[in-house]
Amino acid sequence: MSSLTYSSPEFLKFRDKLYTSRLVIVPGTDRSYPVEKATVVVPASDIEAVKFLKASEEYEPFKE
């Protein structure tokens, strides 16, 4: 079994351009993800969350 890590491709990071801390609620679902230090990490498999974050002007893909 593999352990979960916060590295690609299992997880994607986005930078919150407006807030350093808040809760992202994925529209149309019961899922939410915390923003910490202006960063939100979502599973790459959560298609709805990834689409929402990519489409929003408030977030941008995190460049490491």
- Domain borders along the chain are 11-57
**pTM score over 0.85:** no
Q: Return the H-helix or E-strand segment holding 47.
A: helix 47-55
| Cα distances (angstroms) measured from residue 7 to each of 3, 11, 56 | 11, 6, 22
Question: What confidence tier does 62 reach under pLDDT thresholds 50, 70, 90?
Answer: confident
- Model pLDDT for residues 6-15, shown as the tens digit of each residue: 545 799 999 9
Provide the 3-class DSSP secondary structure of residue 31. coil
What is the C-alpha to C-alpha distance for residues 53 and 59, in angstroms, rounded to an integer? 6
- Model pLDDT for residues 26-45, shown as the tens digit of each residue: 999 999 999 999 999 999 99
